[in-house]
Amino acid sequence: MAPPLHHRRGMARVGVLAVIVLLLVPGLLPAAPAPPRAGGDCITLDDFRTAPVGAFPREWETRKDAGREVYTVAEARGLRFLRAVSRGVGIQAGRETRGWDLAARPVLAWAWRPRQFPRNADERDDARNDSALAVYLLVEHSRIAGPKAVKYVWSERVPAGTHLTSNRGLTQVRVLRTGAAGADWTEERVNVLGDFRRYFDETETRTPARIAVLTDADDTSPLAAGDYANFRACTASAQGAASPRLVD
């Protein structure tokens, strides 16, 4: 039997009040991913500006909980960035990149700096394949085999420009920079669409699934460390443009 009319009206009022409470009280509704912010020829994918210092960034994920201890947000002189300190582990961290039109903005830009290279690491050797810094573009491919990825590495000893493969060819690796660790940030702008098409012999434009980072020391020394900042997606015309200098 249906409830009396006055009772149904009462339930309706309760429902309306519940919606109002959810809208007005912070934290009761699930947080939606923040859309990329526009910035001239570039949109911001993540600059960690609103991420709590000392914590794992809330919009990032890792395959294992131990990764949350590797990557934490740090701040110095008003600049927030992702600090990675790997002690004998190799766990990737990444975040979704909804709203990134790769055809319109084929360039991935970011800043990074190595702080401690893993001792005796060499990305050409599977038994010593550790890196202080690595950045990925990932594209969905197979639920079983996993995504296709282009991986950019800052190596201590492998020459810049070296092309490597891993993960049965699903990860194509480009050594972007070589050299010892320093105190300064280095800005990178890479045409990831061009690299993806070339390495995977594809002509279509895929939708990026996420960006990711990896600072690992599970094959060599017990320590690797590096910093990441200011991830952006940019137009092709922005690839050679001057970038603001990061100082912390």
Tokens representing residue 11 in the block? 């339930």
- Chain segment 202-227, per-residue pLDDT in tens: 998 999 999 999 999 999 988 999 99
Q: Specify the pLDDT at position 161.
A: 97
Nearest alpha carbon to residue 92 among 166, 169, 27:
166
Q: What's the pTM?
A: 0.81
The SS3 of residue 48 is coil
Torsion of CA 182, 184, 185, 191, to 10 degrees: -70
Q: Specify the pLDDT at position 241.
A: 55
DSSP for residue 192? H
The SS3 of residue 162 is coil
Nearest 5 degrees, angle CA 56-CA 59-CA 60?
A: 60
Of residues 158 and 25, the one with the higher pLDDT is: 158
The answer on pLDDT for 183 being more than 50 is: yes
DSSP for residue 240? T
Task: Calculate the average pLDDT of the chain.
Answer: 85
Distances (CA, A) of 178 to 8, 140, 187: 71, 29, 14
Q: Specify the pLDDT at position 21.
A: 33
201 Cβ neighbours under 8 A, 6+ residues apart = none
Nearest 5 degrees, angle CA 107-CA 109-CA 114?
A: 140
The answer on pLDDT for 178 being more than 80 is: yes
214 vs 42: CA distance, rounded Å: 24
Nearest alpha carbon to residue 101 among 57, 42, 60:
42
- Confidence band (pLDDT; 50, 70, 90) for 157? very high
The answer on pLDDT for 22 being more than 90 is: no
Instruction: Please answer whether residues 135 and 107 qualify as being in contact, where contact means their C-beta atoms are separated by less than 8 angstroms.
Output: no
Of residues 198 and 11, the one with the higher pLDDT is: 198
